[in-house]
Amino acid sequence: MKPNYFISLRVCSQEVLKNVSMLQKNISDQNSDYDPGFVDPRTAHLTLGVMGLKTCDFANVFSAMENVTTKVKEIITGDEILHFDGLANFGGEVLYLSVKKDDSYQRLLSLVEIFKTTFVQYNVPWNDEVFTPHVTVWKLSKNFSYFKKKKIKKIPKDLISISLNSYFGFQKIDQISLCSINHSKEQDGYYKVIAFIDLKTGDFTNNKLESFLKVAALAPVNIAVIKYWGKRSEELNLPLNSSISVTLHSDDLCTKTEITLGDGEDDIICLNGIEESVSKNPRLKRCLKIVREHSKKFCSKEEKSKKCKIVSTNNFPTGAGLASSASGYACLAKCLGTVYDAYIDHSIIARLGSGSACRSMYGGFVKWQKGELSDGTDSIAVQVASENHWHGLRVLILVVSSQEKSISSTEGMRRSVKSSPFLQYRVEQCVDERLKLMEEAIQSQNFELFAEITMKESNQLHAVCQDTYPPIIYMNSISHEIVQLITAFNDQKIKAAYTFDAGPNAVLFTLEEYYDELLATLLNYFPPTNSNLENYINHTSSYIHSLTGKEKMFDGIQPHSSALIKIISTKPGPGAHLVSN
Ligand code: PMV
């Protein structure tokens, strides 16, 4: 079983943490390519051992730790001091502070030996690797895929040579904790501590088991730039083609979900304050079924049948025509995957709820690979580039209607698959080439190419809808006015792109350098009904007033006041992530 908990000695000496930050800054100043490998100094620790635990192991773990507490009194008083003297590495892949080999060091080794024998005695799995006391400051495995892309296999000696023999400070061996790898970090930045031994007082404390039967997450909305339209399996939400999307920032639009496992009668969900039984919702049932089947965490039948209480809220109005299913199911997947410790790609859980939700599991630019297998195990989301990749990219959501869509995307897709020859042509002849070009445009930050494909994809989706029999109409006359305005705005050079999903609302992409001009133009052609700017756009009114005179004017396009309900300004952001509950 994959390690999910570990025994640690936290390094909280301010001197050491300051010196680690300075070391990392030093390396970064020499070559910032190595930045994604840095370990957050707030998590600095020495690992005494790692374990793969199920919840039913915890009674034994707590007994073993209690037993260790009585045994170690002889060798450790809590005043022993470890000195961090110089840097060392494991094969260039892990850079760490090494520990001076003195009497305290020997005592630490004895302490680990006691842990090991006691844990084995209590039938708790203990990863039996050779113990080398170390505090990791950089590691390749922090971001394998990034380093692979950059062809970085090791940290070079010259980057660290000046600090090799530095003294970093010291830490008392005063408290040993059992920490969770998968739970979100505590507010102070350190791992979630499940239990600890205070070596000074000789006390053992464990937090209640319930604390890890509870989890909370935030998840964002995403907008497709290569569209998903058409399923090869409705049961598993498997798509006819791969798609690519941009994850929007969760500060502006997101779902927050909290899940508690308990002894309730039924699985229940409370969505924006309204409670209902999960049994009425086949999508939710699918998500729960798969995590229960793949749970690594629970062993007994009673534990496996614990009921879920799901509490979910959106920071944007449900039914504002803004798709909340993507953020909703991504958030649910993050929580369920974590609380059950499910050994499947967590984007699969999200996909079973709503296809496009799998892309909200990651930040930035995300591809949903359609997969080939009939069980859908290869139909997963992967990150193409992170949210920090394209700094200047800006997003504006133009809310045209607050109505729920007339035809659900599932029904719309079903109809198109059945009746549209153009959908078949799109899947067979167009999408693969566009996927390739879109990935290139993202990697090279080629906005004109990105914008052109984005607009063509939106046009094609709605052309397929028109080709469907009976036809499906998602865009309305205001949507078409937006297309006309952006087309005029792009007359000399492509500076903005529009895209529409299964509804009339537009999402626009632009670059920082064109942002003011675009926003001024939008406010000129689509002014708010009254001058209440605060509710119209999420910018301060002083900023909006500073845009005066920056708008573009076009012949033949008339301003249309009260056409838009509101404008939401945002940018690419992170994917679904755990938060402290
Ligand atoms: O995931 P669903 O079933 O809500 O379908 C989403 C379909 C579109 O939003 C129209 C396109 C897409 O790729 O997101």
Rounded Cα distance between 457 and 434, Å, is 9
At 208 the pLDDT is 59
Residue 4 Cβ < 6 Å to ligand 1: no
Mean pLDDT on 120-126: 90
Ligand 1 pocket: which of 221, 225, 229 to mutate (most atoms within 8 A of CB): 229
Residue with tokens 């942002």: 515
At 213 the pLDDT is 80
Average confidence score pLDDT of the chain:
92
Q: What angle do CA 206, 301, 280 make, to 5 degrees?
A: 105
For residue 320, name the pLDDT band (cuts at 50, 70, 90).
low
Q: Which two tokens stand for residue 507?
A: 């999402």
pLDDT tens track for 60-114? 999 999 999 999 988 899 889 999 999 999 999 999 999 999 999 999 999 999 9
Strand partners, 46: 9
pLDDT tens track for 191-232? 989 899 999 999 999 875 666 688 999 999 999 999 999 999
Compute the distance from residue 229 Cα to the ligand 1 centre, in Å. 7
Q: Which two tokens stand for residue 155?
A: 């940290």
Helix/strand/coil (H, E, C) string of 290-303?
Answer: HHHHCECCCCCHHH
At 412 the pLDDT is 96
Compute the distance from residue 265 Cα to the ligand 1 centre, in Å. 34
Rounded Cα distance between 461 and 423, Å, is 8
Which residue lies with its CA nearest to atom 10 of ligand 1?
Answer: 501
Question: How would you class 234 by CB atoms within 10 Å of its CB: exposed for 0-12, middle for 13-18, buried for 19 or more?
Answer: exposed
pLDDT tens track for 138-168? 999 998 889 999 999 999 988 888 777 789 9
Compute the distance from residue 499 Cα to the ligand 1 centre, in Å. 12
Question: How would you class 33 by CB atoms within 10 Å of its CB: exposed for 0-12, middle for 13-18, buried for 19 or more?
Answer: middle
**Mean pLDDT lowest for which of 273-287, 394-408, 506-520?**
394-408
- Kindly report whether the peptide bond that precedes residue 470 is cis, defined as omega within 30 degrees of 0: yes
Compute the distance from residue 560 Cα to the ligand 1 centre, in Å. 29
Rounded Cα distance between 330 and 325, Å, is 8
Is pLDDT at 447 greater than 70 in this prediction? yes
Residue 356 Cβ < 6 Å to ligand 1: yes
Task: Tell me if residue 501 falls in helix, strand or coil.
Answer: coil
Task: Name the more confident of 183 and 171.
Answer: 171
Q: Which of 402, 339, 329 is nearest to 368 (CA)?
A: 329
Q: Which two tokens stand for residue 430?
A: 């167009």
Instruction: Give, in order, the Cα–Cα distances in Å from 30 to each of 94, 140, 478.
Output: 18, 18, 52
Instruction: Give, in order, the Cα–Cα distances in Å from 254 to each of 25, 314, 322.
Output: 33, 6, 11
Is pLDDT at 315 greater than 90 in this prediction? no
pLDDT tens track for 85-95? 999 999 999 99
Q: Are the C-beta atoms of 477 and 558 separated by less than 8 Å? A: no
Mean pLDDT on 316-330: 75
pLDDT tens track for 352-395? 999 999 999 999 999 999 999 999 999 999 999 999 999 999 99
At 319 the pLDDT is 47
Task: Name the more confident of 301 and 58.
Answer: 58
Q: Which atom of ligand 1 is nearest to the CA of 368?
A: 13
At 152 the pLDDT is 93
Q: What percent of the chain has pLDDT over 70?
A: 97
Q: Which atom of ligand 1 is nearest to the CA of 243?
A: 13
- Confidence (pTM): 0.76
Compute the distance from residue 228 Cα to the ligand 1 centre, in Å. 6
Rounded Cα distance between 520 and 323, Å, is 26
At 324 the pLDDT is 79
Is pLDDT at 321 greater than 70 in this prediction? no
Which residue lies with its CA nearest to atom 6 of ligand 1?
Answer: 356
Residue 324 Cβ < 6 Å to ligand 1: no
The DSSP element (H or E) to which 493 belongs, if any, is: none
At 212 the pLDDT is 66
Q: Which two tokens stand for residue 535?
A: 């509710």
Encode burial over 360-378: b for 16+ CB neighbours within 10 A, e otherwise.
Answer: bbbbbbbbbbbbeeeebee
Question: How would you class 431 by CB atoms within 10 Å of its CB: exposed for 0-12, middle for 13-18, buried for 19 or more?
Answer: buried
Strand partners, 259: 215, 310
pLDDT tens track for 226-251? 999 999 999 999 999 999 999 999 99
Query: Which one-letter amino acid corresponds to residue 61?
Result: V
Rounded Cα distance between 446 and 436, Å, is 13
Residue 227 Cβ < 6 Å to ligand 1: yes
Residue 228 Cβ < 6 Å to ligand 1: yes
Q: Are the C-beta atoms of 453 and 436 separated by less than 8 Å? A: no
Q: Which atom of ligand 1 is nearest to the CA of 323?
A: 4
At 187 the pLDDT is 82
Q: Which of 472, 533, 325, 503 is nearest to 400 (CA)?
A: 503
Compute the distance from residue 356 Cα to the ligand 1 centre, in Å. 5
Ligand 1 pocket: which of 231, 329, 379, 409 to mutate (most atoms within 8 A of CB): 409
Residue 409 Cβ < 6 Å to ligand 1: yes
Mean pLDDT on 558-577: 94
Encode burial over 495-517: b for 16+ CB neighbours within 10 A, e otherwise.
Answer: bbbbbbbbbbbbbbbbbeebbeb
Compute the distance from residue 325 Cα to the ligand 1 centre, in Å. 9
Largest alpha-carbon pair distance within the chain?
89
For residue 296, name the pLDDT band (cuts at 50, 70, 90).
confident
Give DSSP secondary structure letters for 67-132. HHHHHHTTT--S--EEEEEEEEEETTTEEEEEEP-SHHHHHHHHHHHHHHHHHHHTT---------
